[in-house]
Structure 1
């Protein structure tokens, strides 16, 4: 039992790398790995500085990574992992933007009844047309005329 004013130590102590051993962690989670990485909670200041650095440099060298980690009071591994995750997020955003660019909203299909088949139920189906991209003609230079 705890006395008044005392607090209980965390049930899953972490080592200097931020790992929790499976034997010390909550067994009800059903962990099979021997060590589980504790999720890093970045402060808004750290995130804004990381984003600012990322906008200038998508990849950090060892020296840049070490300096960034020191400035933000993070480990080099945390900075490296943040940059890897941020590059993947950027890749997904670019892929989503490209996919959205190719999905054109098409008008509904129309049918046409030929005048000669007015007594019959013959209809022709015309699928919607996708407008072709306008490709500018090749540039002709004056040297082409000689």
Structure 2
């Protein structure tokens, strides 16, 4: 039973051990900045994990690259720009909202508004096309048909 419990706990804690002890910077301030930047970068292999949580080799390389750039004196923005220049915007969990990305950010809400407008127009048109009340002749004919 203890073995099963230990195994389950190790599975839950596995992402926390992705950063290896040899990767940790001696300066706590730089390490905190590296961790913050690592939370913003997506693992190219795992896709749904940040590089801090991923055990993939490329994530380790990216973590080392981030720390290397910070030790070299780069700002957080410069480190992100460097990584994006090498790997593309895909590695960012939150891509920029300018340029061609603005179209992508606005496409979802835009399509929702267009769809809602089309649905509203359809409902209004259907309501207006409802049949008018029956004339006296039509009511008499209907009554005659129903009696038969």
Shared fold per TM-score greater than 0.5: no
TM-score normalised by the chain length of structure 2: 0.31
Q: Which has the higher contact order (CA 8 A, sep 6+)?
A: 2
Higher share in helix: 2
